[in-house]
Structure 1
Amino acid sequence: MEVLRQLRRYYQERMSYLVLSILCLAAATAVGLITPNLLRILIDDAIVPGDFERVPMLAITVLIVVIFKGLLQFAHGFFGGRLGNFLAYKLRNACYEKLQFLSFRYYDKAKTGDLMSRLTGDLEAIRNFIGFGFAQLLNVFFMVLFGCIAMFSINWQLTLVTLISMPFLAAVALRFESKVHPAFQEMRLALSSLTTAVQENITGVRTVKSFAREDFEVDKFSDRNERYKVNQIFASSLWSKFFPVMELLASVSVAILLGVGGSLVIHGKMSIGELVAFFSLIWYIIGPMWGLGFHINNYTQSKASGERVLEVLNQPIDVVDKEDALELDSYKVKGHVTFEHVTFAYGNKMPAVVDINFDAKPGSVIGFLGGTGSGKSTIIQLMMRAYDVNSGTIKLDGIDIRDYAVQSLRSQIATVFQETFLFSSSIRNNIAYGINNVTMEEVIRVAKLAKAHDFIMEMPDGYDTVVGERGMGLSGGQKQRIAIARALLKNPRILVLDDATSAVDMETEHEIQAGFQEVMKGRTTFIIAHRISSLRHADEIMVLDQGRVVQRGKHSELIQVPGAYQDVYRIQYADYLAKVNAGERE
């Protein structure tokens, strides 16, 4: 019940619905006890004495009881349904909000399919149990209690004899719960793995087809599907053992009742009506015990699902604001960024950046060059507080960035990533993402700066053209130019271009770079690039290798010094240098 206790804060506001649902179900159970007594009266006071005039009145009374019980059960369903839907609404919002603010460190390991499984299947299992299952499970206690009281009121000796198998029924049910809970936990994990496989395959379908790996993906899915099937079969095997045992024990109780009760009737110690009423009441106890496995099944499913949902909700956020975090004023931010002896490592891995130092003055352009894994993107992520540094300090306008509110800090930074993501919406909405009250003129202005306006106007609906999921239907260069326009519209004090022109041709890159010259004025700009042509106008270029700065300076200085920068320059400009050398020889 610890899981339900932790989830309580999400349905606390509608706790009255839970109470009313339980009370209505308990009342329906109590009203149901009237029917066996009416049956006893019908046999002993009407049929046996031959007083048939009482039969119509008894039949009408039974009808009234049934209608009243139905109304109580309807009220139970109404309040339970309201409670379950309210809980699902609150949990969905809470999970989605938590996912928005979880740190990058969490998403480094998280799987999309697994998260989708938690927010759909797991959440639905919790909704069903809290809304209906919990009251039904509690009703087992009510039915056993009320049934025993009614049976004791008729014949306490027969009650004790009949209920001799009840402890065994309860023991089997509890043992079943201890076995089936781990099975459902494993089943949820297997389903999550299956969902992840489907999500990854659909997302990467172009890669799968381009490498002709359809058969491999089918086999991979089959393996995960096999795991899910095995878990399902194991859970079914538990059920197949549980029901026969429960039915056997229940049949023993009925056999004892008929044998001992029949003997009492024969010897005149019990009336036929009382025996018939007793037979009806025994199912008031056996029925719940028999169905206890079903309710335990629902409980174990919701318990396993609740643990998975709470795992997300209770996930710690690594990057958090201080209590007195500062809010940045857009009109006062200068964009002066300073790194002082910054070192950072992802988890227990080797440091990604080591002792990084630089001073990016307002309006300056800083370039980063280096191979994959050299630490270029890590420096930018640390500046955005995607992660907090292990040692050292990052300052914005002379103040440690950890003293600023995270959202306020990031609102001053616009980033164009190498891997462009576009939403399934219109081009206009993608460019204006995150900016309120944007005019069409502003959208067109930044699109022209990003050299995107012309190809947008060639599309069927222009800026209202809806792009497919993740920007499908656009080329890599077109997506990147839309992303550049989106960053420019934000009008940031700090602009980050993470290999932003890698997907465009050299001519388009030159045009975009020319547009950037105007945009960069008054902004501190960080450029990560593999092409030296993107960096040559930077105020300072830092060459990184294995997280360390191995060279730094202007383009004109670095090409004169033997080292990594000169090597890259010679490779990229080999044809140009060959022509120059040929001209000199002539």
Structure 2
Amino acid sequence: MRNFAILKKYFLRYKYRILLGLVALIIVDGLQLVIPRILKYAVDGINTGKLATFGLFKFGVFIVSIAVVIAIFRFFWRYFVIGTSLKIQEHLRNRFFSHLQGLSFSYFNNTKTGELMALATNDILAVRRAIGPGIVILTDTIFLTIASLIMMFKINIILTFYALIPLPLLSISTFFIGRALHIRFRNVQAAFAKLTDRVQENLAGIRVVKAFVQESFEIYNFKKQNQFFVDENMRLVKIWGGFFPLLTLLAGASTAIVLFWGGRQVIMNIITLGDFVAFTSYLAILTWPMMGIGFVVNILQRGSASMGRVNKVLNTKPEIKNLPDAVNVTGKLRGEIEFKDIYFRYSKELPYVLKGVNLKIAGKEQIAIVGRIGEGKSTLVNFIPRVIEPVTGEVFIDGRNIRNYKIASLRKRIGFVPQDTFLFSMSLKENIAFGVPNTPMEKIIEASKIAQIYDEIMELPSKFDTEIGERGVSLSGGQKQRVAIARAIIFDPDILILDDALSSVDTETEEKIINALLPVMEKRTTIIITHRISSVKNLKRIIVLDNGIVKEDGNHKQLMQLGGIYKNLYEKQLLKEKLERAN
């Protein structure tokens, strides 16, 4: 039960609601114990001939009245206990989602989306069942067991001991079966997570699946994963399915014992017929707690396994976090950036991507970073908003180590358009204004014009109110990139980073966008990463990365005169463009 410790503060917050619910539940259970006593007096009265018709009517009214009160209090315990479990589920799910928002980017690179979706839905639901119905059944089991035994002992001690003969076997089987249930349910949840991930990945990549005609292959993989999920459930059911028949067998054995010994005692006038009826009624009530043990074990083990999986995420600490003495960025940044002796690799097993990069960028300077694929261009700019951190080395902005800035305040001053453009399933207007909610429409229009997407938006039926679907599926790659650029512009950043943000548009459109961006770029430090040198050759400074270091640094003319990597890349691109035009 250590897994549930994290919920302590929620139980304390709602302690009075839970207490009221449990009091109502105990009242219901207590009233249920009164009915066998009424039956005892009624049967004994009938058996001795002392009970008239009016007496029977009076006992009937008592039972109906008790039933009405039970119904009222049953509503209250359901409202307070089950209602509170729903509130705790809401808090836990909000906490889980909020915690995910604070984790580093590397965590999501190593964790599948489908698994996180399963945790946020199926696992948290299992936790809610443990703290709602689980608490109810546990309270029922404890109270009814003790109370029923007391009432049975009052009727006949020896008969009660006979009725309890099967209980030790029940306790032993519950202990061992409970441990097996915990392990197998954890495996079921893990299998469900893999199944969810399989569906999520397929739907996210449905265009690729169809383009390569791999529908049959994907169906095969899904069936295979679905069968694995069924197999894990069947392994669970084999134990769970045998548990209830065992409980029923033990309950039946108790009933048979009572029928034999209790019947003999009635015949021998040791107990009255009314006592026997009451005793069998209490035994029937006691049977529910015996069955309840199975429910409690199942629900709590499921909840505990799921809570353990959720805790694993909640206990994960972000790799990139604020230092204790970190400060907020106050006012505007000058935008002076310095990379000092930067080394970086993505894991200990892989070689270094960057090997001692040293680079200074002046405030409001516009630079391009070029180089062959895989030379670490994107990696380098990802240090600026602290998406990742170098293995060794430091990054400074305005003379201060970026680790000394609070992360959120630093990122608010940086406009970043990454390679992998992501748009939300909202309107174009909402996507462009994503970083700055409640942005005036005129600013949205201005940003879209700079990004060269305005005219195409106006051709759409709903214009800026057009819903673009999941991940912007209704837009082309170039349109999505330009919407992302407009989103960065409207952010009004002090540092603007375009990480190969125009790779999906043609060369002519790319040059138009960069020319339109020039007035925006002049007001802030701008870093453009591109593979098309022709689009950035007019910038005053171009950096060439090669083999993990800054190999060349200068303007277009200077780099061409060097006759190195830059000249080679530029001439190859010119030749490629000529061939494309010729074709």
Q: TM-score, normalised by structure 2?
A: 0.95
CA deviations 1:118-137 (Å, max 9, x no partner) are 11111222222212222212
2:391 corresponds to:
390
Task: Report the Cα offset of residue 9 of structure 1.
Answer: 2.4
Question: Contact 1:325/1:404 (CA < 8 Å) preserved in 2?
Answer: yes
Residue in structure 2 matched with residue 31 of structure 1 by the alignment: 31
Structure 2 distance, partners of 1:369, 1:377, is 10
CA deviations 1:477-496 (Å, max 9, x no partner) are 11111111111111111010
**Equivalent pairs: percent with the same residue?**
35
Asked if residue 284 in structure 1 is aligned to residue 285 in structure 2, the reply is yes
Aligned partner of 2:270 in structure 1 is: 269
Residue correspondence of structure 1 range 349-388 to structure 2 within 5 A: 349-388=350-389
Partner of 1:450: 451
Distance 1:468 1:243 in 2: 48
Aligned residue pairs: how many? 577
> 355-364 or 368-377, which moves further after superposition?
368-377
Q: Which residue of 2 aligns with 1:202?
A: 203
The one-character-per-residue Cα deviations of 1:74-102 (angstroms, maximum 9, x if unpaired) are: 11101012211211221122112111111
Q: Helix, strand or coil for the counterpart of 1:447?
A: helix
CA-to-aligned-CA distance 1:313-340 (integer Å, 9 cap, x gap): 2221111112332111233x10000111
SS in 1 for 2:340: strand
Task: State the 1:577 CA deviation.
Answer: 8.7
Q: Does the 8 A contact of 1:327 with 1:404 survive in 2? A: yes
Distance 1:214 1:576 in 2: 37
Tell me which residue corresponds to 2:423.
422
Closer, same or farther: CA 377–46 of 1 in aligned 2, 3 Å: same
Question: Which one-letter code corresponds to 2:10 in the other structure?
Answer: Y
* CA 372–218 in structure 1, closer or farther in 2 if over 3 Å, else same: same
Paired residues of 2:24 and 2:73 also in contact (CA < 8 A): yes
Match of 2:18 in 1: 18
Instruction: Give the distance between the partners of 1:195 and 1:227, measured in 2 at CA.
Output: 13
Q: Output the CA distance in 1 between the equivalents of 2:223 and 2:171.
A: 39
From the superposition, tell whether residues 187 and 42 of structure 1 become closer, same or farther in structure 2 (CA, over 3 Å). same
Residue aligned with 2:341, SS: strand
The aligned counterpart of 1:156 is 157
Say yes or no: does 1:4 pair with 2:4.
yes
Q: State the distance in 2 between where 1:541 and 1:269 align.
A: 105
- State the match for 2:41 in structure 1: 41
* In structure 2, C-alpha distance between the alignment counterparts of 1:576 and 1:214, rounded to whole Å: 37
Opposite residue 277 of structure 2, the aligned amino acid is: V
CA deviations on 1:153-202 (whole Å, 9 max, x unpaired) are 11111111211111211222222211111111111111111111111111
Q: Is the 8 A contact 1:170 1:289 kept in 2?
A: no
* Secondary structure in 2 matching 1:108: helix
Local SS of the residue matching 1:338: strand
Contact 1:21 1:135 survives alignment (8 Å): no
Bigger shift: residues 91-100 or 341-350: 341-350
Matches within 5 A, 1:106-117: 106-117=107-118
Letter in 2 for 1:463: F
Supply the AA of the counterpart residue of 1:191.
F
1: CA distance, partners of 2:538 / 2:132: 64
**Would the aligned equivalents of 2:366 and 2:522 in 1 still touch at CA under 8 Å?**
no
Distance in 2 of aligned mates of 1:528 and 1:295:
59
- The CA distance in 2 between the partners of 1:187 and 1:554, in whole Å, is 60
Partner of 1:584: none
> What is the rounded CA distance, in whole Å, between the counterparts of 1:513 and 1:488 in structure 2?
13
Give the Cα–Cα distance (whole angstroms) in 2 for the partners of residues 47 and 577 of structure 1.
111
Q: Distance in 1 between matches of 2:288 and 2:458?
A: 70
Instruction: For residue 546 of structure 1, report the CA deviation from its aligned partner.
Output: 4.2
Matches within 5 A, 1:327-346: 327-331=328-332, 333-346=333-346
Deviation at 1:562, TM superposition (A): 4.0
For 2:488, the equivalent position in structure 1 comes to 487
Change (3 A) 1:205 1:165: same
| Partner-residue secondary structure (3-state), 2:528 | strand
Tell me what 1:470 maps to.
Answer: 471
Provide the C-alpha distance between the structure 2 equivalents of 1:576 and 1:231, rounded to a whole number of angstroms.
57
Q: Secondary structure at the match of 1:383?
A: coil
Q: Give the match's secondary structure for 2:493.
A: coil
Q: Is the 8 Å Cα contact of residues 118 and 196 (structure 2) preserved in structure 1? A: yes
Q: How far off its partner does 1:576 sit?
A: 7.5
Q: Contact 1:176 / 1:293 at 8 angstroms: preserved in 2?
A: no
CA distance in 1, matches of 2:91, 2:500: 40
171-180 or 212-221: bigger deviation:
171-180
Whole-angstrom distance in 2 between the partners of 1:211 and 1:576: 29
Indicate the residue corresponding to 2:233 in structure 1: 232
Q: Conserved in 2, the CA contact under 8 Å of 1:366 and 1:539?
A: yes
Distance between the aligned counterparts of 2:47 and 2:370, measured in 1?
Answer: 100
CA distance, structure 2, for counterparts of residue 498 and residue 2 of structure 1: 46
Q: Deviations over 1:287-323 (max 9, x none)?
A: 2112321222111221122122222222211111123
Cα distance, 1:509 vs structure 2: 0.9
Residue in structure 2 matched with residue 257 of structure 1 by the alignment: 258
Could you say what secondary structure the match of 2:9 adopts? Answer: helix
For residues 137 and 235 of structure 1, what CA distance do their matches in structure 2 show? 22
Counterpart residue number, 1:302: 303
Deviations 1:524-558 (A, max 9, x none): 11111111123323443332234333333332222
Code of the residue aligned with 1:290 in structure 2: it is M
Offset, 1:561: 2.8
Cα offset, 1:244, TM superposition:
2.3
Q: Deviations over 1:364-387 (max 9, x none)?
A: 123222333321111111111112
Deviation of residue 211 (structure 1)? Answer: 0.4
Give the aligned residue type for 1:38: I
SS at match of 1:164: coil
Secondary structure at the aligned position of 1:33 is classed as: helix
Distance, in Å, in 2 between the alignment partners of 1:575 and 1:308 is 53
More off after superposition, 566-575 vs 115-124? 566-575
CA distance in 2, matches of 1:291, 1:48: 37
AA of the residue aligned to 2:23: L
The answer to whether the Cα contact below 8 Å between 1:362 and 1:522 also exists between their aligned partners in 2 is no
Question: Which segment is superposed worse, 13-22 or 550-559?
Answer: 550-559
| Larger deviation, residues 15-24 vs 405-414 | 15-24
Distance 1:297 1:212, change over 3 A: same
Other-structure match for 2:550: 549
Q: Is the 8 A contact 2:507 2:535 kept in 1?
A: no
CA RMSD of aligned residues (A): 1.7
Check the 8 A contact 2:435/2:487 in 1, yes or no: no
Render the CA deviation track for 1:426-452: whole Å, top value 9, x for unaligned. 211111112144222211111111111
Cα contact 1:330–1:412 (8 A) shared by 2 = no
Write the deviation string for residues 22-46 of structure 1: whole angstroms up to 9, x where unpaired: 2221221122111111111111134
Q: Cα distance 1:138–1:345, how it changes in 2: closer, same or farther (>3 A)?
A: farther
**Does the CA-based 8 Å contact 1:321-1:406 persist in structure 2?**
yes
- Partner amino acid, structure 2, of 1:121: N
Q: Supply the distance in 1 between the matched residues of 2:12 and 2:530 (Cα, whole angstroms).
A: 53
- The 8 Å contact of residues 3 and 306 in structure 1, kept in 2 or not, is answered as yes
Distance 2:161 2:307 in 1: 39
Distance 1:313 1:220 in 2: 31
Structure 2 distance, partners of 1:347, 1:150, is 67
More displaced 10-residue stretch of structure 1: 154-163 or 8-17: 8-17
**Following the alignment from structure 1 to structure 2, what is the Cα–Cα distance between the partners of residues 546 and 63?**
87
Matched, 1:147 2:111: no
1:136–1:295: 8 Å Cα contact kept in structure 2? yes
Distance 1:105 1:575, change over 3 A: closer
